[in-house]
Structure 1
């Protein structure tokens, strides 16, 4: 599978070589693995345990309808946190040095309602390589025709309000994943400009079996065991996914679609005249980097710069890497974008959407 887009290190920068050496020295001097430590395993246990506890309480049929609605909200949040903290690291091969452990934990992505195989193509390969490049990185195509982030795209009249309605669309993200997105991406001939064909036969089986299992566990089984009508089950399922989608959507958008991040356009020769690592610095931003709460719940995705440069390092180590990466960026006079808090990043995202929704 070939992609014509190339990164050309026109400045001959040694930034990535230097920062990688510093990170390697850190792990060697500390005598630790770049993979999960005991604290990371405890996090994984907490989020998985919380998810199954809420699911069990919901199916126990021992609570009133309002309590069960609350459990649905909790399930949506914990599904997103499992995606951030467990699935994401495992699917990058960052959780463990053992591939079978990563595969096992990567399967937790099915609890989010998503397909791990499709994710590894769209996210690990396409998004991490061609970050924020219109026409290549489909992760920034939030809702084509409704939300505009590509400045070459014509402005439509309704997009002047996109800084308001975008957040409602984010809430639909996981519903789209469950019922539409994985199927569309799986059978699409190209994702961006990445050839997306000749999938292994077992992945066809996994796609459909896992989806049917998800529909059974979260729609059919509750209908069979709970004293609720079909429409009440539907409302609970909808609420769970609106919460899950909003959490997922916000965290991912605040890393790449905020003021200061760039959306590079390839040259006429089909190249980005920048080293890949420097491209990551220009297209990615951290938020709330000093917040232990954000780091715990967002699975290190509040430190997206470190994640994009070192996707195979477990996020539990990102706090220690932040200063190394930031200092190296300063040494090479390169940008290091960050918003001090979640809310300042949210405001920055809002302002950028507002700007991009209007003619230049």
Structure 2
């Protein structure tokens, strides 16, 4: 059984204290709030408008089937962008200083298919603490037996080709999230090695808000739209695949690219470096200077800044990123970044190939003999 992981900071690093002080000084000197700015509120209104407008056009616009299919794809992508730009910050409580506003933003997460409560545990608590640590960070436990992200896991024959099929599997992520993932995670005794005990109200919330989502995106469309059941299934899957692919790519490009590490604790369960330094070695940015990426990705293209300062609204990441990068250089720490989205995509592809095909071919005898002990293959996104 895996031990509870601790970060021991054996080198007595002052990196985090230094960068945090500099970032605090930036906000004080510029008289800025760490929460949403007017630009952030504009983004929130824009993406909510696109999401709700597209949904209503599909239901009541009277368009032909091909236009509805295109609108379904746009609806799926819009759901991902709402999640990135509103819900993600709200669940981190960085959108606003007012709990009611953050709670409302979190509630929207339920309306695009995911449980904010389960996400808070999996992402805020587990992923942000134990980034890229196998057995603890379940974000790298994707499609067990099919996708290998950790060098500590035995590679099997199928994973030799993961650099080809992984992207298709990412498109299944939202479909799994809607019908499987939240239930599975909720009823696990542990998420990673984090033991969870749920308040009773969350049992009600899980099923109640899932029910609302199923009504809005399955029952109501079938009631009001003049389409057959199989036409609905095609449109529904197109929406889910579009949303899943956007989500999968943005999240994986932040941690599974060239240069990021997947450290393991020692026998005592210790990671012998400071938590902040661990984040610098396991996290990457892409398209950091792109205004388009910043607008659509909700700061998730700047995961380094997000992991160090999750309580700061992402609208501020471009400015504090300058501070983080300079401080990292001073402390001789990596600042991993891809200049463009395509650079990050290529880097992710190469990493998948290295962890799959190349790892298998390095020692095929061991890998072939150990295939029987690999985890059960699951085509679903964990």
TM-score of the alignment, normalized to the shorter chain, above 0.5: yes
Aligned match of 1:177: 177
Aligned match of 2:39: 39
Give per-residue Cα distances to partners, 1:47-88, cap 9 Å, x unaligned.
Answer: 001100000101105111111111101100100000100000
Aligned match of 2:217: 218
CA-CA distance at 1:216 after TM superposition: 1.0
Aligned match of 1:263: 262
CA-CA distance at 1:149 after TM superposition: 1.4
Contact 1:162 1:354 in 2 (8 A): yes
Residue 301 of structure 2: SS of its match in structure 1?
helix
Segment of structure 1 superposing worse, 3-12 or 161-170: 3-12
Moved over 6 A (4+): none
Matched, 1:97 2:97: yes
CA distance in 1, matches of 2:278, 2:143: 24
CA distance in 2, matches of 1:112, 1:177: 10
Contact 1:90 1:103 in 2 (8 A): yes
Contact 2:112 2:213 in 1 (8 A): no
Matched, 1:81 2:51: no
Matched, 1:311 2:310: yes
Aligned match of 2:152: 152
Aligned match of 1:53: 53
Query: Cα RMSD over matched residues?
Result: 1.0
Aligned match of 2:138: 138
Aligned match of 1:352: 351
Segment of structure 1 superposing worse, 162-171 or 210-219: 210-219
CA-CA distance at 1:112 after TM superposition: 2.2
Contact 1:130 1:136 in 2 (8 A): yes
Aligned residues between the structures? 358
Matches within 5 A, 1:278-317: 278-317=277-316
Aligned match of 1:162: 162
Give per-residue Cα distances to partners, 1:244-265, cap 9 Å, x unaligned.
Answer: 0000000000000000000001
Contact 2:5 2:271 in 1 (8 A): yes
Query: What TM-score does the superposition give when structure 1 sets the normalisation length?
Result: 0.98
Gaps of 5+ in 2: 363-382
Aligned match of 1:62: 62
Aligned match of 1:339: 338
CA distance in 2, matches of 1:330, 1:151: 27
Give per-residue Cα distances to partners, 1:273-295, cap 9 Å, x unaligned.
Answer: 01000000000000010000000
CA distance in 1, matches of 2:51, 2:61: 17
Contact 1:87 1:106 in 2 (8 A): yes
Aligned match of 2:370: none
Gaps of 5+ in 1: none
Aligned match of 2:117: 117
Contact 1:79 1:111 in 2 (8 A): no
CA-CA distance at 1:213 after TM superposition: 1.1
Query: What TM-score does the superposition give when structure 2 sets the normalisation length?
Result: 0.93
